[in-house]
Amino acid sequence: MANSRTASTSIKITASSTQIELTGSREFVQANLAALRESGALKRCVPPVFQQRSGGNGNGDRGRSRTTIDGLLDSLGMDPRRSTATDLILAFGYYVTVVQRRPSFTVEDLEFHFATTGVRAPRSLANSLGTLKRKQNAVTPGDRRGTYQLTSQGRLQIESRLRDGGRTPREA
């Protein structure tokens, strides 16, 4: 009998009208995801929704599954306490715009995700966003005042880390 405290991974993938859900150990999900990629079944898919499942953390959520920013950060190999503010902003922006399928993100979204992960937001999110806009060309202003969108380059930075198992280009 499996241990009820063993963590498992769950990924949902949607392509056109087809939806695939893989649940099991991280190795099981990664192996089956690799097989789906090799078969060409994932050519035009919406990126997966990241979920974490646990047997319980002592806070009354035994066995409950929920979509989390922590699941994305884990897939990216990012420790929120050791990552740069700009890396976290990119990850949070990706989560809001791609996983939650919203057209743009706001400073309030970023502050919420910094608080959710237990990391203090930088003193000036505007400066960090400015760095991402001017130096990295990863973020652009959104359609409305106070909103931002990831550029294709910003999205590529996150998706390449997802493809490479969380390794940055320097580590690969």
The phi and psi torsions of 139 (rounded to 5 degrees) equal -135, 145
Distance CA 8, CA 28 (A): 10
Tokens standing for residue 73: 């950060």
The predicted pLDDT at position 44 comes to 45
- Pairwise pLDDT comparison (18 vs 32), residue with the higher score: 32
- Pairwise pLDDT comparison (102 vs 47), residue with the higher score: 102
The predicted pLDDT at position 172 comes to 44
Summarised one tens digit per residue, pLDDT across range 51-88 is: 544 444 434 333 332 357 888 888 888 888 899 999 99
pTM for this predicted structure: 0.61
The phi and psi torsions of 45 (rounded to 5 degrees) equal -120, 155
Summarised one tens digit per residue, pLDDT across range 99-154 is: 888 999 999 999 999 988 888 899 999 899 999 999 999 999 999 999 999 999 99
Q: How confident is the model at residue 6 (pLDDT cuts 50, 70, 90)?
A: low
Three-class secondary structure assignment of 78-97:
CCCCCCCHHHHHHHHHHHHH
